[in-house]
Chains A and B, each alone.
Chain A
Amino acid sequence: MMVSLTKSTMILRPGRVRGLDNAVPTHSASLLLQASSNLCPCRAVVMGGSGSECGSFKQPLQAPIMNVHYMQAIRARYESLGYTPYRWFEADGAPPWQPLPKPLAEARLGLLSTSGAYALGQVAYHYKDDTSIRALPSNVAIEDVRFSHITENYLVDPKRDPNCILPLTQLRTLRDEGVVGELADEVLSCMGGVYSQRRVREEVAPAILEKFKAQRVDCALLVAM
């Protein structure tokens, strides 16, 4: 199957991602590409099960870019420091799937940012697998948003402009435009640098679920740092 770029959406699957770097374990993640918006038409190529490939792979519109391989780099970096190699989560099954229950323009959207955001007046996070959650009012003033996170080095720009990692202004715009129906009254944050996957599963994820259910959100945007 040759796939050509058109203005319509292309969904390529099942796939192995190519053109990023073949060394990355890709499982069956597939990429969705679209030429007519800011979805990238050429950066990544999906190999179909039969060995097909996207036509853009042979004639890329831009120079190939090497994606950063964080899992490999961090594993090697910690090893060089004498730490036990970190065992990253690797899903062994297809993800669960829940279709949007209503049109986006009628949906109530929740937001979670793992950047360690808190509002002025709330308690900051600590650095040792802090699994607590903060609910910031959705109408919080941007200048009252603060951050604390074990990887403070990634927060230089968010501390200047929180929208880099907690897109409050942009979500308000999309709500005002009618793209999304409404925003939950509060946006959620946590300090996502929790190394214990057990504690993420048993503490963070259920607490987020409970909050989103109480907010009666129809869907949730999760912004990773």
Chain B
Amino acid sequence: MCHQTVCLVARHLEAHGIPTMCVGSAIDIFQAGRPPRATFVDYPLGHSSGKPFDTADQLSIVRAAVAGFTRMTAPGEIQVLANRWGDDDWRAEASSTKGQDTRQPRDETPQFQLPADRSAALASGALRE
């Protein structure tokens, strides 16, 4: 869903004068949504800018993405990165057409990562009781 959102936002920004580069890991959604420029990294969702704590991997992805601003010259291109996740075990689960709905209940109250974040938001005045 996030990939669809970036496609829509990228097209809007570009139409209003801001060049964009989308980075993501769902190439089919990029192909359908056709953002102006896209970089595809074949990782499980949640890792569009690299593996955790792997600075070299993260930097190679972000470096290639921003280089695309200069390299890519026609609308709708997708550059495919050669970065490899390592094992392919995640593909089966990601491709599964069965199983439970893994999304959270559609609650309309702020869902803080940590309880202390709520206190911090109250303290800053960003959140009111």
Contact = CB atoms under 8 A, between A and B. Distances in A.
A binds B: yes
Interface of A: 9, 11, 13, 17, 20, 24-34, 37-41, 43-44, 65-73, 76-78, 80-81, 88-91, 94-101, 103-104, 107, 109-110, 112, 114-115, 118, 120-129, 146-148, 150-161, 163-167, 169-171, 173-174, 179-180, 190, 192-195, 197, 200-201, 204-206, 208-209, 212-213, 217-225
B98 to A, nearest CB: 6
Nearest to A42: B82
A97 B3 CA distance: 19
Contacts of B22: 222-224
14 contacts: A9-B71, A29-B30, A32-B71, A33-B79, A71-B32, A76-B97, A88-B4, A90-B32, A95-B10, A95-B36, A101-B19, A123-B127, A170-B58, A204-B5
B110 A67 contact: no
A170 B59 contact: yes
A90 B117 CA distance: 38
A34 B39 CA distance: 13
Contacts of B105: 127
Most interface-central of A25, A40, A128, A197 (chain B CB within 10 A): A40
B66 A163 contact: no
Interface in B6-50: 6-36, 42, 44-50
A68 B8 contact: no
Given A156-B46, A160-B52, A32 B78 contact: yes
A104 B22 CA distance: 16
Contacts of B18: 98, 110, 209, 212-213, 217-220
Contact of A150 (B63, B95, B104, B113): B104
B3 to A, nearest CB: 4
